[in-house]
Amino acid sequence: MAAGESVIGAIGKSVKAVAKSRGSEWWYTPHMAAAARAIDKRLPLVDLVLEVRDARIPLSSECLQLRKTPSASRIIVLNKADLADRSQTKEWLSFFEKQKCMAFGVNSHNRDNIRKFLTFLQGRVRELTKKDDRAHAITFMLVGIPNVGKSALANSLHQVGRISAAEKGKLKHTSVTPQPGETKCISSLKIASHPNIFVLDTPSVLIPDVIDDEVCSKLALTGAIKDSVAGEINIAEYFLSILNLGEEYKKWEKLSSSGTGAVLTGEGSSSLGKKQKRQYQTDHTQDFIVNNVRRTLFDAVSSFSGRTDNGEDLARLIKEEFEVLQKVFHLPLETKECNFDRVATKLLNLYRTGRLGHYTLDRVPCH
């Protein structure tokens, strides 16, 4: 495990260096501090807080600013559930329920899932109006750390809610990018009528204090921390250590080159293979490239002669995986050091889009 621990330590050290820098343009900037104060001021004024977390890290993505918010007025939303281990998400939802916290798993890009979530929220609104006989518009506030998908969730709720309400007019939307911390101001979007329900999309907020190395690594891998802070190679090595020590890669056995399920390499004799090689060999998102990545990683781990629970052996395996992935991604072999950066970039993209399996990095606490 020393190899994984070494990478975790390197990521933690890099993040801490940025966090402690007074001139940091990323970690708890003056803008982020102002956003935290603005959220605090609005908390007493909203009807319900939707704390958006990343379903892959339900604990590490907690917004500590909301710890004092009563459970009755807060819903924990595990977004990006499509990227997490489904059975683990169910366990986390059960855990939160036992903790007397309302929780819901959601994929903000799945319209049917958003409809179910909206129905769930409307049910909660009916409970609120019964208790308080509220005649005013209901307001929800989305709060969370960077890159948990608050803006994407707000847009999806707005689009599905407005369409189901059969309202005319041009839909508004908030800016959505894969880069963390892009939302700069609080915006309001209508998501339902009768009663009118609005959702406030807020800027992302990180805690001002430095967190531990493992949490830093999980945040970096899921994209909550900019890759430039921790280093893409470090983050990709951390992912490979998780893959090599886990079970997910075993699902790719049918793709093994030693079995009957071998896949196209882009160098085959079939016309389809030739077409893919000619048109798509540099596009790592193409299915045949993704399958080759899976096959290569399966073969690398399953044929490895060392012990993955040994730090030095694990580090050697990760280096071998970087080297063979250069060929899979069709990168020129003569510029190895530069290529390792490019391998890391492509590998992280495939992980973050769910193409290399579904991982939940936080384990449910045992009680």
Give the 3-state DSSP-derived string for 274-312, with helices as H, strands as E and coil as C: HHHHHHHCCCCCCHHHHHHHHHHHHHHHHCCCCCCCCHH
% of residues, the chain, pLDDT over 70: 81
Q: Average pLDDT of 307-335?
A: 90
Q: 3-class SS at 69?
A: coil
Q: Average pLDDT of 134-163?
A: 89
Cα–Cα distance for residue pair 102/93, rounded to 1 Å: 8
Which residue shows structure tokens 């994929």? 107
Q: Beta strands 197-201 and 187-192: pairing type?
A: antiparallel
pLDDT higher than 90, residue 200:
yes
- Closest among 345, 347, 259 to 302, alpha carbons compared: 259
Burial of 318 per CB tally in 10 Å (0-12, 13-18, 19+): buried
| Mean pLDDT of the residues in the chain | 85
More confidently predicted of 166 and 107: 107
pLDDT higher than 90, residue 279:
no
% of residues, the chain, pLDDT over 90: 59
- Tell me what pLDDT residue 128 has: 81
CB 204 within 8 Å of CB 150: yes
Q: Average pLDDT of 261-274?
A: 46
- Tell me what pLDDT residue 108 has: 96
Which conformational region is residue 46 in: left (phi greater than 0), alpha (psi within -120 to 50 degrees), or beta?
Answer: beta
Q: 3-class SS at 213?
A: helix
Q: 3-class SS at 112?
A: helix
- Tell me what pLDDT residue 96 has: 96
More confidently predicted of 45 and 133: 45
Strand arrangement of the beta sheet that strand 48-54 belongs to: 102-105, 74-79, 48-54, 138-143, 197-201, 187-192
- Tell me what pLDDT residue 270 has: 44
Which conformational region is residue 147 in: left (phi greater than 0), alpha (psi within -120 to 50 degrees), or beta?
Answer: left
Ranges 134-138, 252-256, 356-360: which has the least confidence: 134-138
Tokens of residue 13, six digits: 């050290």
Task: Select the highest-mean-pLDDT range: 79-83, 197-201, 308-312, 336-340.
Answer: 79-83
